[in-house]
Amino acid sequence: MAEELGGECSFYKVNVADRQAVQDWVDDVVDKYGRIDVLINNAGVLRDAMLVKVKEGQLVGSMSEEDFDLVISVNLKGVFNCTQAVAPTMIRQKEGAILNATSIVGLDGNFGQTNYVATKAGVVGMTKVWARELGRHNIRVNAIAPGFILTEMVRQMPEKILDNMKQHTPLRRLGEPIDIANGYLFLASDEATYVSGTVLRIDGAIVIGT
């Protein structure tokens, strides 16, 4: 993508769970371009499992501590690390937009996703806190909560599961990545200069579990 965009475009591979790696990345961007206008916290991982799995009265499985910690470190701490590293630059500029990727499961919950849901609910909370703390510096902080989106990963799912997703979505289709991109574009633009502390659902009106 960087090659396709050309010109003044750079690609970085960064472990968002590593605070120093994030700081080094942000410092390099500021050195190279002089400012940071928009931060989109979009990195995320999944490690799904039930809290406890019982069969015939016996415990046969559970979510591991390692899987819980990994998802927290990337999906929640990663958002904290990147935002904390970028905020001082935006404060000096007296403007900026921070956009966080949450999920409808962070609002409605979802079976077998204790760790993931906890992070996405946490991101909603942090979004609202940062909107309050950073608003005085003309920095807007918002989040997007996608529903079922037809990404490459989702496309690999069995047709039966995809059909079930569609049936539970009132618009009777899955979202496209461009639907989410358009939401980010709006929230990052001057068309949304009075929008902050909000969570924009882009989900075709779905409510998980119904």
Q: What is the pLDDT of residues 100-127, one digit of tens each?
A: 999 999 898 888 999 999 999 999 999 9
Tell whether 92 is covered by a domain.
yes
Distances, alpha carbon 147 to alpha carbons 39, 54, 59, 165, 176, in Å: 21, 29, 32, 10, 10
pTM: 0.92
Which residues have CB under 8 Å from 119's CB, separation 6+? 44, 71, 72, 75, 76, 106
Q: How many domains does the chain have?
A: 1
Residue 204, SS3 per DSSP:
coil
Tell whether 25 is covered by a domain.
yes
Tell whether 50 is covered by a domain.
no
Range of the domain at 102: 2-44+71-202
What is the pLDDT confidence band of residue 179, given thresholds at 50, 70 and 90? very high
Through-space distance between the first and last CA atoms of the chain, rounded to whole angstroms: 38
Tell whether 106 is covered by a domain.
yes
Tell whether 64 is covered by a domain.
no
Tell whether 63 is covered by a domain.
no
Marked catalytic residue, from 12, 33, 116, 184: 116
Let me know if 194 is a catalytic residue: no
Tell whether 56 is covered by a domain.
no
